[in-house]
Amino acid sequence: MKKLLIVIALVFMTPAFVLAGARIQVLERNWNFGLAHKGGPLSHPYWIKNIGDDTLRINVRPG
């Protein structure tokens, strides 16, 4: 019985543990623009979400 209670407690604690702190979710990390002509800009938006329970701070650096 005690083991069962421990297991149940762990199950309920797990989501809180997983979400603790800021957590970044990037929906799509790779984008292929296919063919493009020289002469103009190419762009793509990457969506980011904070799925954690604390403030997420981000900074972006071109590679």
Partner 1 sequence: MAPVQKDVLAPGDSTVVELVFNTNSVARPPMNLNKHANIMSNDSTLAVVAINFEGKVVADTDTVSTMVFGPNILQFSPNDRKQEIIFENVKDSVSFNIKLVGYVMDDFAIKLPGKPIAPGKKGKIEVEWKGDLPEYDVGRSLTFKTGSKSSPQFSAAYSIKGAKGARPAPPKQMKPPQANNPPGISNRPPASKEAVKGAANSWPQGIPVKADSAKIENPLDQKQWPPK
**Residues at the interface with partner 1 (CB under 8 A):** 21-24, 26-27, 29-63
CB of 13 to partner 1, least distance (A): 17
Contact 12, 38 (CB under 8 A): no
Nearest distance, CB of residue 20 and partner 1, angstroms: 9
Report the half-sphere exposure of 59 (CA within 13 A, side-chain side): 1
CA–CA separation, 57 and 24 (whole Å): 9
Which is nearer to partner 1, 3 or 57 (by Cβ)? 57
Return the number of the residue (5 or 45) whose C-beta is nearest partner 1: 45
